[in-house]
């Protein structure tokens, strides 16, 4: 895990889910997933959008032409935990690689945070949207 992510995670947990810098004032969650090769827990701070009762996250990787490893991990093992604010709970992730549902959710995120529209223009790939449903 990068030092940058470690700092964001520490700040998130110290401030009831709020952070400064790039994510200041934006909805942020911590995604706990299992590495598909290592079997180890991985934690990623990610912007999210509420879609009804679900949480949508976006595999932008800053508009790079490759998918982030965490989306491949979710494809291999969709059982996750997320931290939102001070709450932590189990969820099940579904990767939306394409289609109208993916397009609708991504367009809403780009409307709320214009940088997501820039990521989409910058890359040659379709950016996957991952929806996470709470599992009780």
Give the model confidence (pLDDT) of 16-75 as tens digits.
Answer: 888 888 788 889 999 999 999 999 999 999 999 999 999 999 999 999 999 999 999 999
Tokens describing residue 13: 């947990």
Give the pLDDT score at 17. 86
* pTM of the full structure: 0.92
Does domain 3-134 correspond to CATH entry 3.40.50.10490? no
pLDDT tens per residue across span 68-111 = 999 999 999 999 999 999 999 999 999 999 999 999 999 999 99
What residues does each domain of the chain span?
3-134
Beta strand ranges found along 1-136 (DSSP E): 28-34, 41-51, 54-58, 79-84, 87-96, 129-134
Q: What was the pLDDT predicted at 44?
A: 95
Distance CA 19, CA 69 (A): 24
d(CA 72, CA 51): 22
């Amino acid at each position: 895990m990068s030092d940058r992510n470690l700092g964001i995670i520490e700040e998130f947990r110290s401030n009831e889910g709020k952070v400064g810098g790039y994510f200041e004032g934006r909805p942020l969650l911590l995604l706990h997933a299992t590495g598909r090769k290592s079997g180890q827990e991985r934690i990623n701070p990610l912007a999210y959008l509420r879609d009804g009762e679900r949480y949508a996250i976006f595999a932008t990787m800053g508009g790079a032409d490759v998918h982030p490893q965490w989306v491949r991990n979710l494809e291999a093992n969709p059982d996750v935990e997320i931290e939102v604010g001070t709450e932590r709970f189990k969820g099940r992730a579904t990767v939306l690689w394409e289609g109208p549902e993916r397009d609708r959710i991504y367009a809403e995120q780009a409307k709320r945070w214009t940088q997501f529209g820039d990521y989409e223009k910058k890359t040659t790939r379709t950016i996957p949207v991952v929806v996470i449903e709470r599992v009780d």
